[in-house]
C-alpha cells in the first residue's frame, strides 16, 4: 500500500510555514545583561596604612574553582545543584574582574598606587604578593551572596609572610535579582579586601621602603 504524497501546493505551503516559524523563533531571542564587580567608594586610608603604602604589592594570580570559570552568574539552590543564568553574564572573565577590584580596593584602603596585577615584569621585585583561590562566588537560594577564598601573602622570593587563610563572607542582596547579587558579591569582596589590607599593614615593617 502506497502513501499518497501531498499535493505540490500543499508541500510549498508547509515549507513556507516552517520557515516563518523558525524566523519567528530567532526573532524572540532573550537579551543578555552583563555585570561587573565594583570597588568600594569613599574609604580613605587610615594612619596605620602608612607603612604599607610604600611597599610594592603584587596582586595575583587569582584562580577560580572550575565551576566558577564560566561567563554566567551562578546561584546554588542546594548542596549539589547549581543554576546558571544564561541571560545574565559577567562582562569579563571573573578572575580578572576580582583581581582588578581587589587592586582598586587596596589602593583606596592603603592610600597607594604601588600595586601591580599579575603577571608583572620579571625584573620587577615586589615586597609582598597576594595570591587567591576563589572557592565560592555565587548566590545562595537568592537569599545571600557567598564569597569564599583561600589566600596568602608571600615575599619577593615566594617565602610565606602569612600562612594560607580561608575567608568566607555572606552578604544579603539589596534586591532579589542578578543585579542585587553582583552588588552583594562586590560588598563581600570589599570585606575580603579590608581583611587583606589589615594583614599587609601588620606585615609592613616600620619605615618600609619599596626600593630595598
- The neighbouring-strand residues paired with 34 are 89
Decide if 84 contacts 190 (C-beta within 8 A).
no
Q: Which of 15-19, 30-34, 56-60, 91-95 has the lowest mean pLDDT?
A: 15-19
Mean pLDDT of all residues in the chain? 87
Q: What is the mean pLDDT of residues 4-28?
A: 60
User: Which residues are CB-neighbours of 82 under 8 A, at least 6 positions away?
Assistant: 67, 74, 75, 76, 138
Identify which has the larger pLDDT, 158 or 41: 158
Above pLDDT 90, what percent of the chain?
Answer: 68
Q: Residue 26 has what pLDDT?
A: 54
Q: Residue 61 has what pLDDT?
A: 97
pLDDT tens, 79-102? Answer: 889 999 999 999 999 999 999 999
Single out the residue of 44, 61, 139, 153 nearest to residue 98, CA to CA: 61
Q: Residue 9 has what pLDDT?
A: 64
Q: Residue 30 has what pLDDT?
A: 81
CATH code for the domain defined by 46-203: 3.40.50.10610
Q: What is the mean pLDDT of residues 127-144?
A: 93
How far apart are the C-alpha atoms of 139 and 105, rounded to whole Å?
22
Count of residues for the chain? Answer: 212
Cell of 95: 578572575
Amino acid at each position: 500500500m502506497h502513501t499518497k504524497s501531498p499535493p505540490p501546493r500543499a508541500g510549498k505551503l508547509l515549507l513556507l510555514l516552517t520557515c516563518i516559524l523558525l524566523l519567528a523563533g530567532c526573532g524572540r531571542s532573550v537579551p543578555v545583561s552583563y555585570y561587573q564587580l565594583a570597588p568600594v567608594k569613599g574609604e580613605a586610608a587610615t594612619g596605620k596604612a602608612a607603612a604599607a603604602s610604600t611597599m610594592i604589592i603584587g596582586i595575583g594570580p587569582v584562580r577560580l574553582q572550575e565551576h566558577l570559570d564560566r561567563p554566567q552568574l551562578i546561584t546554588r539552590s542546594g548542596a549539589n545543584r547549581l543554576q546558571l543564568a544564561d541571560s545574565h553574564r559577567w562582562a569579563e572573565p571573573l578572575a580578572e574582574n576580582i583581581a582588578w577590584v581587589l587592586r582598586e580596593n587596596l589602593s583606596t584602603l592603603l592610600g597607594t598606587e604601588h600595586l601591580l596585577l599579575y603577571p608583572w615584569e620579571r625584573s620587577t621585585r615586589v615586597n609582598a604578593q597576594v595570591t587567591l583561590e576563589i572557592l565560592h562566588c555565587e548566590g545562595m537560594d537568592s537569599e545571600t551572596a557567598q564569597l569564599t577564598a583561600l589566600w596568602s601573602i608571600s615575599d619577593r622570593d615566594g617565602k610565606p609572610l602569612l600562612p594560607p587563610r580561608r575567608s568566607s563572607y555572606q552578604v544579603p542582596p539589596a534586591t532579589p535579582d542578578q543585579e542585587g547579587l553582583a552588588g552583594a558579591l562586590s560588598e563581600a569582596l570589599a570585606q575580603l579586601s579590608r581583611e587583606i589590607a589589615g594583614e599587609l599593614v601588620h606585615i609592613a615593617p616600620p619605615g618600609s621602603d619599596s626600593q630595598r
